[in-house]
Amino acid sequence: MRQKSNLHMPQILPSNHIGTEAGSASQPFIQRGTPAYRRASLALFAAGLATFTILYCVQPLFPLFTAQFHVSPVMASLSLSLTTILLAITLPIAGIVSDAIGRKSVMTISLVVSAICCILTALAPDFAVLLVIRATQGIVLAGVPAVAMAYLSEEVESMSLGFAMGLYISGNTIGGLFGRIVVGMITDISTWRIAIIVLGAVSLLAFFYFWRSLPSSRHFQRVSITPKHLLAGFGRQFRDPGIICLFLMGALLMGGFVTLYNYLGYRLMAHPYDLSESIVGWIFIVYLVGTFSSSWMGRKADTVGRRKILFISVGIMLMGVLITLTHSIVLIILGVAVFTFGFFGGHSTASSWVGRRAVSGRGQASSLYLFFYYVGSSLGGSAGGLFWSHFQWAGIVAMISGLLVLALIVAGVLSGIPPMTKPRQ
């Protein structure tokens, strides 16, 4: 086999220069059923819960922000979209930093600082200051999602990876659910500011558990950071058309997903439903199907194939969003549940696939996937406000359906691309 030039490869520092997170390829990977697997899974579950509690806790408050701060639905959505766009921009940087100083270190700093920022959000005197704090949160939150996928891809044995990734994403779904429900319930009996403070305190507890429980890296190798190495590393990821398709898949799926949840509250709090903040928050209980879907579909992807699971997941999402066109509240919730099931199955499959296709720079590959994922969230979430303002719910469904049709096309292209030639063993 021809030897590849290392001209553009990051420099791996010698063992006497790498910290406690540095590992060795000779050490075993974490396998499902072992104590290390359980500790890693629960620690990352807690990290995902805290991260996505903080990220999405403002989503049910959009109608309240519109009324209290006298801003439009599009402006109200910026309290989430601005956070996610800065999260997307920061993700590659967080991935690069983690390649240099270690996975656990970056995630630990991200969790504690973002929890403090969450508490500060509750003290914002006006909407402009709130947006500044939420923007800061977007920057510091990037440390967990950018690095968690790389940590799992490096440390978990290949046949256990899909399930482990699904468990981490389950923490994300529980966090999104927990934040929305708690905000709705506490806001109904007190204020949204008290609700945000409570979530900040819970996130601090999650940080402490993560810090104490996550096993140190065994296979991480610290690399030097130079502009030349960084550009070469990012360039390598875009040489694989399969990874490019996965990046686009993440953007399209998340763009549709966040659009539906951003404007569901506007629909259900208006006539003829007239639901309260608390009731709308409890509707997010359908996130639980995502908790099941991410791990179950991740396991299926390990056995029946990722290409097939991606097609099935997108098809389920499309069916679910079309069901929400009905005027029956029961069928609307059913449609949202079906849509959510498909989304988390697709996201779990695509995200674990990125880690397997990337033969080097997994931190960069994972962060680039999430960069596109959250760009899709920001653009889709804000564009959805225009569709809602002009066409109401029918416009939201049309927009999401268009994104999912594009996702099916991308999945078809991906199916024609052969697997990478050097999979991780």
Calculated CA dihedral for residues 296, 342, 283, 402, nearest 10 degrees: 170
How high is the pLDDT of residue 19? 38
Q: Is residue 22 part of a domain?
A: no
**Residue 195 maps to which CATH number?**
1.20.1250.20
pLDDT for residue 11:
41
Helix, strand, or coil (residue 359): coil
pLDDT at 330 over 80: yes
Would you give the end-to-end CA distance of the chain in angstroms? 18
Query: Does a structural domain hold residue 17?
Result: no
pLDDT in the model for residue 18: 35
Highest mean pLDDT, choosing among 67-71, 278-282, 323-327, 367-371 = 323-327
Identify whether 15 is part of a domain. Answer: no
* 147 token code pair: 């690095």
pLDDT in tens, 144-197: 887 887 788 788 877 777 677 777 877 777 887 888 888 888 988 889 999 999
389 CB contacts (<8 Å, ≥6 apart)? 72, 73, 74
Please write the tens of the pLDDT for every residue from 94-139: 877 887 788 888 999 999 999 999 999 999 999 999 999 999 999 9
Interatomic CA distance for residues 120 and 133, integer angstroms: 7
Specify whether the CB–CB gap between 210 and 111 falls below 8 A.
yes
pLDDT tops 60 at residue 91: yes
In this prediction, residue 129 carries a pLDDT of 95
**Does residue 363 belong to any structural domain of this protein?**
yes
Q: Which tens digits make up the pLDDT trace of 41-52?
A: 889 889 988 998
Q: Which residues constitute the domain of residue 397?
A: 29-213+224-415
- Return the pLDDT at 72: 87
**What SS3 class is residue 223?**
strand
How does the average pLDDT of the chain come out, rounded? 82
- The residues facing 12 across adjacent strands are 223
**C-alpha triplet 83, 84, 88: angle, nearest 5°:** 120
The pLDDT assigned to 21 comes to 56
| Residue 7 is assigned to a structural domain of this protein | no
Task: Give residue 12's pLDDT band: very low, low, confident or very high (50, 70, 90).
Answer: very low
Query: Does residue 260 register a pLDDT over 80?
Result: yes
pTM comes to 0.70
Task: Judge whether 192 and 67 are in contact, CB under 8 Å.
Answer: no
Report yes or no on 16 lying in a domain: no
Q: How confident is the model at residue 301 (pLDDT cuts 50, 70, 90)?
A: confident
Q: Which of residues 243 and 300 earns the better pLDDT score?
A: 243
Please determine, for residue 6, whether its predicted confidence score (pLDDT) is greater than 50.
no
pLDDT of residue 420: 60
Does any domain span residue 277?
yes
Which pLDDT does position 221 carry in this prediction?
Answer: 65
pLDDT band at 5 (very low <50, low <70, confident <90, very high): very low
215-227: per-residue pLDDT in tens? 877 766 666 666 6
Alpha carbons 10 and 93: distance in angstroms, whole number: 15
Q: Who has greater pLDDT, 22 or 286?
A: 286
Rounded CA-CA distance 411/308 in Å is 9
Q: How many CA atoms lie within 13 A of 35 on its CB side?
A: 1
Q: What percent of the chain has pLDDT over 90?
A: 33
The answer to whether residue 5 sits within a structural domain is: no
What residue spans of 102-191 are helical by DSSP H? 103-121, 127-141, 143-155, 158-189
220 forms beta bridges with 22
- Of 22-31, 91-100, 322-331, highest mean pLDDT: 322-331
Both tokens of residue 371?
Answer: 């960069």
> CA dist 221 to 112, 152, 252, Å?
25, 14, 33
Please, which pLDDT band fits residue 22 given cuts at 50, 70 and 90?
A: low
Query: What's the rounded Cα separation, in Å, for the pair 379 and 393?
Result: 18
Bridge partners of residue 22, in order along the sequence: 220
Q: Angle CA(13)–CA(16)–CA(20) in degrees, nearest 5?
A: 90
CA angle 307–147–413, rounded 5-degree value: 20
State the pLDDT at residue 425.
Answer: 38
Nearest of 49, 56, 54, 55 to residue 265 by alpha carbon: 56
- Number of domains observed in the structure of the chain: 1
User: Residues, the chain, total?
Assistant: 425
Q: What is the spatial distance between Cα 54 and Cα 117, in angstroms, rounded to a whole number?
A: 9
| Distance in angstroms (rounded) separating the CA atoms of residues 421 and 425 | 12
